[in-house]
Each structure stands twice: as C-alpha cells, then as structure tokens.
Chains A and B, each alone.
Chain A
C-alpha cells in the first residue's frame, strides 16, 4: 500500500479523533505546594472585596474578600445567566467600575468587579496566551484574542468558563473590552440554560426581554434600531440584531442578542462600539449618495451579472479615521462587497477625522 493512500484515508476518519488530538493535554501531576496554596486562596475568599485585590495578594496572607459564596460541597453547577449592571448601569463608554453577577443557580451567586476583569486571566502583552485559575472548584480559562479587524470589533478578551478541554466546547464565554475590562458580550451554551417548562415565550415577549436588557445595559441604546431577527433553535427562542443609526444612516455598530424559549438571554454582544466616534453627517445628501452608488453598481456589474438585490447603505469607520459607505450587492446568488465604491464615497461625502 502506498503511504499516500494511507494518509488520504486518514482524512475519512471520524471527527472525534481529530478533536481529541487537537485538544489533548497530557495530564500533569500538580505540584502539591501550589495546590495547597490555591485551595487556601479560595477558602479565604469571603465577603465582598473586589477580585482585583484577591489576585494581587499572595496566598495565605489572610486577606478576606473576593467574593465567593456557598462554594463548598462539590456541587458542580454551571452558569445559567449573567446579569450585568448590578449597580444599574453598564456602558461601553464609561470606564468606571461595574459589577457583574454570575448566577449559577437559584441559590448561588458569584459577584465580581468587572474593572480589568480580563486582566486577571490573561497576560495582555502576549497574544493568544491562556491562563487557568480554579475558583469554587470550577476551572476558568482566559484566552486573549485580538480581532483582525480591530477598528470594527475592537480588541477584546475571550474568557471561557468550565471548558471541556477534550471537545473544546466552551460552556460559557465572556468578551471583554481590552482597554477597560468591561464585559461587552457573553455566550452560554444550551447545557447552561433552563429547559422550557411549558411552551416557549412568543416573539413579542422575547423582543420585550431583549429591549429591557439593552435599556439597562447600553447607554446609547436609543440610537439603535432593529435590523434583523430570526427564530433560533436554542430552546426555541429568538435572535435580534440592532444597528446604530447616525443621522438616518445605519452604521456597522451593532448589537446581537439572543433569547431562549424560557426567556433567558443566552448571548449578547456589542460590536463596533469604538468604531464610529463622532461623525457629523448633517450635510450628507442621501439622495445623491444613493444615486451615486446605484450608478456605480450598474457600471461595474451590469454587463456581467444579474443584480438580484442591494443591501441598505451602511456607514463604517476605519482605524485611520476614514469613513466610508458600503453596500452588499448580491449578484447571481453570490455576495460581493464593492471596495471601489467606498474610497470614492468617503472622499465625496465625509470629512476625514
């Protein structure tokens, strides 16, 4: 048999072998001293002293606080929902301290100061580093990932909680602003969520819950409009997408929020919160802009493709401060973004900032 044939056949094997190898970590014996020290840290965490103090204090020095309640007993509850803004406000722009409450179940709550939350898990000088801590018998793994399109997504941290390292299914993840440590997103897998006891809540009820959450947690929520919605298969719920509108123009700043059939928020993400800055579009002539774009699209695509649809014009800001408009043109079922339009329009319509 030729080795090539064998190696090609390897590509047909079940995915589970690939995932196992990808995620496999050799079991290591934990140094006894470190394990005792870590256990001592957890045992000393009582009261409400901010997490930042706990992790900056060497183990065994008698510091109290941090925040862990009802942690003994070996119960292995999973996060079910995270409530942001215990103090009443959570905002992407405010760099003050915020509280987050991780609701594990009806009887257990974990409170954390959000400020610089991410920095407790990762070394921000190294991309893609990973740090693991044990808290309440639960393994928290923090991994820093920097978005390629940083002007749009911003730099953020992904924190994975209770990760199954064999299958790498993150049970609960939090996204944090790398500058302020604020939580700007989270995602909970179905295993963390409540089952639907009777029938799923309706679309309107889901929407109300989404709006209620956003009003509490996004300071400029009034600038956002509903952009898209769809039913999801997470306990028969609904997902909503909102976009920020500036002077009547939809921007790339958007919020994704998902509600389960039981009425829980299973995912929330704030995107592009840094991207827009202060842009004055009061002098913008939308009619003229639309005509220019239509003309460009016809010129570029008319002879070669059937244009099936154009999306709404959307505004984006690049890292260098350039603003541009773009739309997505669907051509014969394919989607293409027209880069040439953008440069012209950014020069025509917007003053560089």
Chain B
C-alpha cells in the first residue's frame, strides 16, 4: 500500500489505516524503538504511542515523506522514554551511542556556547552535506536510527570494520566542524 493511500485512510478516519501502517512500517518502528529504550515492552509502548500520535496528527497534516514523519515522532517518544525511565538503564544501542559521542562533544558548557536545538540541527545538516552519500548514510543509520554496527553492516553490505572506521573518521570530522563554528570550545 502506498503512503498516499495510508494518508487517505487516515483522512477518512479508517482504523484499518493503523493496521496498514503497522504492516508496512511496524518492524522498522520496533527496531528503532528497541535500539533506544532497550527492552521490548517499552519499545512496543513507544510504537503504540507513535501510532496514536500519527492518528491525532493526520489530518490536518499531510506528511511527505510519511516514513520520516512517523519515525521522527517515534524517535522523540522513545528518547523521552529513555530519559525518564527510572529503572536501571538496560544495555541498548542508544547507550552505546551516548558513550561513543561523549569524547567528541566534550566541551565546557558556557552561556556563550549554548545553542538552540534547531540551530544545532541546521549545523548538523550543513555538516552532513559535506559527507559522501555512503558515509552520510552510515552516520544517519548509527546516530538517527540507532542501529548497531552489525545492522548497518548488513543493511549496507559493508563490513563491520568498515562501519567502525567510517564512523570514527566522521565523528572526528564533525568535532572539527563544530569546533570551527564555536559550538564546541
């Protein structure tokens, strides 16, 4: 089923639209959520909350592309859940990402260096534009989709070593990029 047909069903308030979304994107959603929250129960909850948020947003929204719209909602929900979880942090890919990024983003947090999320997002976009399509895809899969090295390796047909090397070089490049723009001091 095409995304447009799903959106049409949402506009008609057909509950089968949620089934259609789950059929098409359910597996990807569960993977994204699980990689962030680290357990299946929380992941399932995040996915259900995301579907509800989509139901409540469309109409009037007419997102294109639909997948990115859905995944963004889900990622926000999952990251919020990860933040607010009172239980001991389970080992999950997201925790690995945080640990991975920390050395490259370490800086003194000063008033002058505080930056709005949106402004930072624009800088990240500009940085992404400097990357080759392959490295950009690897970077996004790791730090947006929270995929493991093995998952990225399988999806992109490159070795895990190659994934690791590309990410390390990209992180270093990003550190320099943000440093030059005064985001990191």
Residues on A facing B (Cβ under 8 Å):
1-15, 17-22, 24-26, 28, 128, 145-149, 152, 158, 167-168, 170, 173, 187, 189, 228, 239, 267, 328, 335, 337
- Contact assessment for B67 and A19 in the assembled complex, using a CB-CB cutoff below 8 Å: yes
In the assembled complex, 12 residue pairs joining A and B whose CB atoms fall closer than 8 Å, in A order, are A1-B184, A10-B144, A11-B121, A11-B144, A18-B72, A19-B68, A21-B137, A22-B67, A128-B27, A149-B19, A168-B67, A187-B2
Contact count band on B: 35 or more
Asked whether, in the complex, the Cβ of B65 is within 8 Å of the Cβ of A167, the reply is yes
15 extra interface residue pairs, beta carbon distance < 8 Å, beyond A24-B156, A168-B67: A1-B105, A6-B143, A12-B118, A13-B124, A15-B68, A15-B69, A17-B140, A17-B144, A24-B134, A24-B137, A25-B157, A148-B22, A148-B23, A167-B65, A168-B65
Output the residue of A21, A170, A335 with the most chain B CB within 10 A. Answer: A21
* Contact, CB under 8 Å: B184 / A12: no
Which residues of the partner chain B approach A18 to less than 8 Å between Cβ atoms?
Answer: 65, 67-68, 71-72, 140, 144
Q: Which residues of A contact B106 (CB under 8 A)?
A: 1
B180 within 8 A of A: no
Task: Check A335 against B13 for contact (C-beta < 8 Å).
Answer: yes
Name B133-153 residues within 8 Å CB distance of A: 133-134, 136-137, 140-141, 143-145
Q: Which of B43-51, B75-83, B84-92 contacts A (4 or more CB under 8 A)?
A: B75-83
Q: Which of A3, A10, A19, A168 contacts B121 (CB 8 A)?
A: A10
Instruction: Return the chain B residue nearest A173 by Cβ.
Output: B2
Contacts of B1 in A (CB 8 A): 158
Is the pair B13, A20 in contact by a Cβ cutoff of 8 Å?
no
- Residues of A contacting B161 with CB < 8 Å? none
A13's partner among B16, B97, B128, B157 (CB-CB below 8 A) is B128
Min CB distance, A146 to chain B, in Å?
8
Contact assessment for A7 and B79 in the assembled complex, using a CB-CB cutoff below 8 Å: yes
B106's nearest neighbour on chain A, judged by CB, is A1
Contact in complex: A3, B102 (CB < 8 Å): yes
Give A8 to B82 CA distance when docked, in angstroms: 12
B120 located at the interface, meaning its Cβ lies under 8 Å from any Cβ of chain A in the complex:
yes
Query: Would A5 and B128 be within 8 Å (CB), given that A11-B79, A26-B157, A148-B22 are in contact?
Result: no
Q: A18-B140, A21-B137, A187-B5 are in contact. Are A13 and B83 (CB under 8 A)?
A: no
- Total of A-B residue pairs, C-beta within 8 Å: 135
Q: Which residues of A contact B53 (CB under 8 A)?
A: none
B144 lies within 8 A of A2 (CB): no
Q: Is the CB of B98 within 8 A of A4?
A: yes
Interface membership of B176, Cβ < 8 A: no
- B112 on the A face (CB < 8 A): no
Contact B97 A7 (CB under 8 A): yes
Chain B residue at smallest Cβ distance from A187: B2
| Neighbouring A residues of B72 by C-beta, 8 Å | 11, 15, 18
Which one of A11, A21, A26 lies within 8 Å of B75 (CB-CB)? A11
- A14 contact set on B, CB distance < 8 A: 125
Q: Using Cβ atoms and an 8 Å threshold, which residues of chain B touch A7? A: 79, 94, 97-98, 101, 143
